[in-house]
Amino acid sequence: MAGYWQRVAAVAMILGWSMASAGCAQTETVAAPVAESALPAKFLTDPELFAPGAKVFKYRCAACHSMDATKSQFFGPHLDGLIQRKIASTPGYTFTEEVQQLSIVWTTPVLLEWLARPQQMVANMCMPFTGLPKQADREALLAYIYQASEAK
């Protein structure tokens, strides 16, 4: 497990993130509510969003995650089939005990909140992703995750 955290620290350093901003320092933050988006199913399968979502995934997620469940795990678990999956339930990936105790299920509203404020939603997760400030990027990424999972 020590090797895993060394890899996370190395990626954070390369990308210019501090481990404290990645949630690795003890914090007392409380999640602020995120307005629930009215994302109709049609929107989530809109081909116009696939390319922008794929670009967001490439530049913000792909260093640690894959959309292919058959690929070896990177620094984070694969995201294939993420929708409606319980947090910390990806086979073959080791999660911290703290994260395993959570009862989060990845639904559209939960993912939109996660993408906006991941460190506030799950404090001390030690994930060097601090969120996507633009609603359009969050929605495009979510559409990409839905479409990439459904395409298989």
DSSP 45-99: T-HHHHHHHHHHHHHHTTTT--S-TTSPP-SS---TT-TTPBTT--TT----HHH
Does pLDDT of 58 surpass 70?
yes
At residue 88, the pLDDT reads 92
How is residue 60 written in tokens? Answer: 């913000």
Three-state DSSP state, 68: coil
Determine the pLDDT at residue 113: 92
For residue 48, CA distances in Å to 41, 43, 45, 57, 70 come to 14, 9, 9, 15, 27
| pLDDT interval class at 30 (50, 70, 90) | very low
| pTM value surpassing 0.85 | no
Picking from 109, 86, 96, the residue whose alpha carbon sits closest to that of residue 36 is: 109
pLDDT greater than 70 at residue 40: no
**pLDDT at residue 35 in the model:** 46
Q: Which residues contact 118 (CB under 8 A, 6 or more apart)?
A: 23, 125, 127, 129, 130, 131
Q: Give the confidence band of 50 by pLDDT, cuts at 50, 70, 90.
A: confident
Specify the pLDDT at position 26. 38
Instruction: Find the mean pLDDT for residues 127-136.
Output: 91
Tokens 């070896």 belong to 72
Contact 140, 52 (CB under 8 A): yes
pLDDT band at 7 (very low <50, low <70, confident <90, very high): low
pLDDT-derived band at 91, boundaries 50, 70, 90: confident
Nearest-angstrom CA–CA distance, 49 and 137: 10
CA–CA distance, 109 with 83 (Å, rounded to integer): 11
- Calculate Rg over the CA atoms of the chain: 15
The identity of residue 52, as a single letter, is P
> Residue 126: its pLDDT value, please?
73
